[in-house]
Structure 1
């Protein structure tokens, strides 16, 4: 029996900067997971993934990541890999963690 579809976001790495990026409802990209499009329909997820894969000049390594709706309805990662990707490098002196 196939598993039930779980909510997803489309994610990738920005081609030029290497930052983790997420597809928004408008079809553009954001570095902020909370602004990503939360996809709850499997067919829509596949269509959004195909659209994102057609942007190789912007995004590389495009895939669907499992998320769950947070208290405010915004996507939250369900796997440690996605949490790690969201927070940036593991040292605190560059990237997203430089401002902490």
Structure 2
């Protein structure tokens, strides 16, 4: 039996800075998960992933991450994605300095 498709976002790392980024509906990259395009169609998700993977001068490691709709946009459904969106864990800088992540 085929698995049911769940909502996704395209995520990757910025090639130069290494930050976690999300593909938006207008083909931009955002460091904020809530601005990522919430994809609910499997075929569309594969097309968006191919689009992202072709941007080798901008990003590295693109993949589809499971999310769910939230009040302010996509929200992670797995610990890994929740952890990734707050930035590096080795010391407080960047996103980790933001009051919302403390």
TM-score, structure 2 as length reference: 0.92
Superposition CA RMSD, Å: 1.1
Deviations 1:18-64 (A, max 9, x none): 00000000111000000000000000000000000000111100000
Question: Contact 1:91/1:97 (CA < 8 Å) preserved in 2?
Answer: no
Structure 1 unmatched ranges of 5 or more? none
Deviation of 1:89 after TM superposition, in Å, equals 1.9
What's the secondary structure of 1:87's corresponding residue?
A: coil
With the length of structure 1 as denominator, give the TM-score of the two structures.
0.93
Number of matched residues? 99
Runs of 4+ off more than 4 Å: none
Unmatched runs of 5 consecutive residues or more in structure 2: none
